[in-house]
A and B are shown apart, each in its own frame.
Chain A
Amino acid sequence: MNIVLGNIVLVSTILIFASIGSFLTERSGIPNISVEAILLVSSFGYAIIHDKMQSQGYGAMFLGIIVSIVIAIVFSWILVLTFIKLRANTILVGTGLNMLSIPLTMSLVKVSAKSSQGINIDLLESMKINNFPWVYLIFLLLGILMIIATIFVMLKTRYGILINGAGENPHALHLAGLKVNSIRFLTGTVGAAFAGVAGALICHFSTGGSSFYKGTTAYGLGFISLGIVILSQWRSKWIGLFAIMFGITFSISYKITYLTNNLNHVQLMMISAIPYLIPIVILPIISKSHNFPKQMGVPFIANKRGE
């Protein structure tokens, strides 16, 4: 039971951070389908710090998180800058980043790992997922605090209005003398930083705290976070709720064998597909009253008239 609870807390935290990152980026008008790639690449940064520092403790953990944030920011700049400066189609660039991330991480792991199995991550007993670690509860609380902060920033501060403006009506911001692309760039960077934290925690999820990191997958959690943002209709107040709901569903489906032994292969696979089935069922119900940023995916060109 502890392992399932540990997974619920950890996955919910990952989804909260990844969804906030994705939400901020999309709210400013940059469609971000490369969250999966950002999670995967930043998780490598975390793993390599653990390997290089030869440390199991909290010091390596926090340094690893900082490094994965930096990697996530640098990686996401490919998406943000190609959109802002080169007016590229972000769906295709995001797909390109998703294509790029797996071989890149696997090759980096192969070059840098001392063992042929991958990078060895052996955390303290108190951080291993099997023991329901309290440290992840702290991260979950931090995630919830971040959601509250995001709601506050989006609804009550000037920066929130600017982010919304960049996604909804960038020409109005431009007329007010503000730099739309700078706001988009800054928000994209902040969003990537959140995804970087999630990426670091992916590393704990993939190894469980005591095995080899291979850098092959982010378990589709990036795509789920994308689904969360769309299900929450780009409203900050719903993100936390959906993230925890998906965290519970994903963890139970992933670790169902720890709860019951009576399920056959078909039932196990069907349960595993539930997190991806939920958006398909809910989206038609809620999408009619959509609230997506009007200028999402439209590069800002100052002298171009809108429709």
Chain B
Amino acid sequence: MKKNNINFKNIWSTNISRTIISAVIGLFLSWALISLFTKSPTSFINAIIDGSFLNERKIGSFLTVTTILISLGVSLSVCYKANFINLSIPGQLLLSATICYLIAYKIKNNPSLAIFISFILTFVLNSFINVFIILMNKYFKVNMIVLAIMLNWIIFYIYRIYMGTESGNEWVTASGSARTNATANFSGIFGGKLSIFFPILIVLAVGIWIFFKWTPWGFQMIVSGKSIKVAETLGIKSTRNLIWISFISALFSSLAGMVYLFSKQEGVLSTELPAAPAESWIGLVVALMAFSNPIATIPVSFFFALLLQSQTTIQFYAEVNNNVVDLTNGVLMISITSLPFAISRIKVKDFKKNYLQKQKTKKEGR
């Protein structure tokens, strides 16, 4: 039997290794940046550990954030595969969370029914947003990125209509929005903070990976994403595939919105959310770092959930704004997108050879 030897000399020349090196450099840079704002930069590590593992409640919260990131990561990964950078995800997250909140508030006595209706409604709306962007690009040549950004802002104002403190709606109280029992049927593990969505999302992520890896339809979608010309030459209907991909993406972004609401204390949605919640942007980095691989989004989401959770304790340890942690996400995004190419240009072998050659010439010169 032939032995499958791993060539360790080339292991650092793969895309994954380059991305890992870029992420490490990005982490180091962001740590250096954070240390400008705090007297005790090492406390950042304490904040990460305590923010996620201090007690059962923190562990539950950490896993819920991981669930949100997995769903956003898979949602974006699927779009990346079709060469569709879906910047409408922040808006979809906000829209899903708002709809889930309103339905959970209206149907207080039956949380399961509320969750079912929320899921169907958010799925339909998110699918509509994705399909709208794709069709506008296909038939009117509208720039997808700008359209998505503008839609995000419009969704933000829709959110303000329903959830703004000045709205005077009965579900918005002076101290924020009112409580719902949205989490009632989904508590139990880790102090009631972990919903059933965590295992569901893991299974779905693996399912999507299998779909793309092993089914002909999944392969067709990847081919459409790589080159529309090639796909159409082969008789693959690229627009139809793109629309199916937008449905899959909407499924995961809807789930993300629901879990986002459940991650809030007692199902209370803040009245002062930004136009793009931090989790949605991190979803972009997760998908990017996972190379659009749905299974790889799981460990990457764990990593970013650690960073996000440190926001809850960083103020206590380092006396800085809790959003200083977002610096890390921005720096990581830039380093992961730009540094792999630079790393690929470094040739350790050549460097070693040139260095030895120089040393030899120097000795001979003497």
Take A92-B284, A265-B167, A280-B150 as given contacts and tell me if A287 and B327 are in contact as well, using a CB distance cutoff of 8 Å: no
8 more CB-based (< 8 A) A-B contacts, given A96-B331, A107-B327, A277-B154: A82-B334, A85-B342, A87-B341, A104-B330, A107-B320, A284-B136, A284-B142, A287-B141
A contact face: mostly helix, strand, loop, or mixed: helix
- B109 on interface, CB distance cutoff 8 Å: no
Contact residues in A for B324 (Cβ distance below 8 Å) = 103, 107
Q: Is A276 an interface residue (CB 8 A)?
A: yes
B155 CB to nearest A CB, Å: 9
B333 pairs with A283, CB closer than 8 A: no
Q: Does B257 contact A (CB under 8 A)?
A: no
In the complex, what's the smallest C-beta–C-beta distance from B338 to chain A, in angstroms?
A: 4
Q: Which residues of B contact A292 (CB under 8 A)?
A: 143
Is B266's beta carbon under 8 Å from chain A?
Answer: no
Q: Which residues on A sit within 8 Å (CB–CB) of B136?
A: 283-284
Asked whether any CB of chain B lies closer than 8 Å to the CB of A223, the reply is yes
> Does any Cβ of A come within 8 Å of B217's Cβ?
no
Partner of B326, one of A82, A99, A227: A99
Tell yes or no: A18 within 8 A of B by CB.
Answer: no
Interface string of A247-270 (1 = CB under 8 A from B): 000000000000000000110011
Q: B127-149 toward A: CB 8 Å interface, digit per residue (1/0)? A: 00000000010001111011101
Q: Say yes or no: A280 contacts B147, CB within 8 Å.
A: yes
Contact A103 B161 (CB under 8 A): no
Any chain A CB within 8 A of the CB of B321?
Answer: yes
Q: Give bound CA distance, A26 to B98, whole Å.
A: 36
Is A153 part of the contact surface with B, judged by Cβ < 8 Å? no
Q: Are B153 and A276 in contact, with the CB atoms below 8 A? A: yes
Q: Which residue of A lies closest to B284 (CB)?
A: A95
Hey, which bits of chain A sit against chain B, CB under 8 A? 33, 78, 82, 85-89, 91-93, 95-104, 106-108, 110-111, 220, 223, 226-227, 230, 265-266, 269-270, 272-273, 276-277, 279-280, 283-284, 287-288, 290, 292
Q: Are A86 and B338 in contact (CB under 8 A)?
A: yes
- Residues 236 to 284 of chain B near chain A (Cβ within 8 Å): 275, 281, 284
When distances are taken between beta carbons in the complex, the residues of chain B under 8 Å from A290 are 141
B116 at the interface (CB under 8 A from A): no
8 nearest CB pairs, A to B = A100-B330, A96-B333, A88-B338, A99-B330, A82-B338, A284-B140, A273-B157, A96-B334
Closest to B320 in A: A107
Chain B residues with Cβ below 8 Å from A277 are 150, 154
Most buried by A among B87, B145, B281: B145
Q: Which residues of B contact A (CB under 8 A)?
A: 33, 36-37, 85, 87, 136, 140-143, 145-147, 149-151, 153-154, 157-158, 160-161, 164, 166-168, 275, 281, 284-285, 288, 320-321, 323-327, 329-334, 337-339, 341-342
User: Residue on B with the closest CB to A89?
Assistant: B337
Contact A100–B140 (Cβ < 8 Å)? no
Residues of A within 8 A of B150 (CB): 223, 227, 276-277, 279-280
**Partner pick for B151 among A82, A106, A280, CB 8 A cutoff:** A280
A226–B281 Cα gap in the complex (Å)? 19
Chain B residues near A99 (CB-CB < 8 A): 281, 326, 329-330, 333
Are B157 and A95 touching (Cβ within 8 A)? no
Docked complex Cα distance between A133 and B71 (Å): 50
Task: Specify which chain A residues have a CB less than 8 angstroms from the CB of B141 in the assembled complex.
Answer: 287-288, 290
**Bound complex: CA of A230 vs CA of B136, how far in Å?**
15
Q: Out of B143, B157, B332, which one reaches A269, CB within 8 Å?
A: B157
Residues of A within 8 A of B341 (CB): 86-88
A280 cross-chain contacts in B, Cβ below 8 A: 147, 150-151, 154
Query: A266-B161, A284-B136 are known contacts. Are A100 and B334 too (CB-CB below 8 A)?
Result: yes
Decide if B151 touches A97 in the complex (CB within 8 Å).
no
Q: How far is the CB of B201 from chain A (nearest CB, A)?
A: 23
CB distance from A75 to the nearest CB of B (A): 12
Residue among A272, A279, A287 with the highest chain B CB neighbour number at 10 A: A287
B336–chain A nearest beta-carbon distance, Å: 8
A265-B85 Cα distance, complex, nearest whole Å: 34
Contact B323 A269 (CB under 8 A): no
Smallest CB separation, A11 vs chain B (Å): 16
Assembled-state Cα–Cα distance A106/B278 (Å) = 15
Q: In the complex the two chains form, is A279's CB within 8 Å of B146's CB?
A: yes
C-alpha gap A88/B338 in the complex (Å) = 5
Docked pose: A292 CA to B137 CA in angstroms: 14
B residues in contact with A92, CB < 8 Å = 85, 284, 288, 333, 337
Contact A78:B334 (CB < 8 A) given known A107-B324, A283-B147: yes
CB pair B321 A97 closer than 8 Å:
no
Contacts of B166 in A (CB 8 A): 265
List chain B residues, Cβ under 8 A from A100: 326-327, 329-331, 333-334
Given contacts A88-B337, A95-B87, A265-B161, contact A102 B326 (CB under 8 A): yes
A265 touches B164 (CB 8 A): yes
Residue of B nearest to A222 (CB): B149
Q: Which residues of B contact A283 (CB under 8 A)?
A: 136, 140, 142-143, 146-147
B337 close to A287 (CB less than 8 A) = no
Chain B residues, CB < 8 A from A227: 146, 150
Q: What chain A residues lie within 8 Å of B153 (beta carbons)?
A: 220, 223, 273, 276
A104 closest partner in B (C-beta): B327
A106 to B321, CA, bound (A): 8
